[in-house]
Amino acid sequence: MQHWYVYYQLPRAQLAATAACVRAMLNAISASTSVRGRLLKRDDPDATTMTLLEQYDDIADPAAFEAALRSAVQRSGLSAQVVGRRRVERFEDF
């Protein structure tokens, strides 16, 4: 099984709009793959940016999940700037 972590920084002012898009995306991914994602944030009150993290666990078919995630991102309404900042880390059970 794989576990994916997608993280990106964004300006604090974009948090609400970005989170709404990501939550809709998480619902779409769950409906099409049965993989339930989580949205987490790291907030540094002194910074002008914050970090969001999408966490996806127990991915049995990484190729199918990758296609579903790519499609969901394209339909999400996320700005091109946010999409360009997303970084994906993949881990697997050991």
**Cα-based distances in Å from 38 to 4, 46, 48:** 11, 25, 23
**According to the model, what pLDDT value does residue 17 have?**
95
Answer whether residue 43 shows pLDDT above 90: no
Query: How much is the mean pLDDT over the chain?
Result: 94
- Here the CATH number for the domain that contains residue 7 is 3.30.70.100
Q: Where does the pLDDT of residue 45 fall: very low under 50, low under 70, confident under 90, or very high at 90 and above? A: confident
pLDDT tens digits for 13-28? 999 999 999 999 999 9
Q: Please tell me the total count of domains within the chain.
A: 1
CA pair distance 18, 39, nearest whole angstrom: 11
Residue span of the structural domain in which 21 resides? 2-92
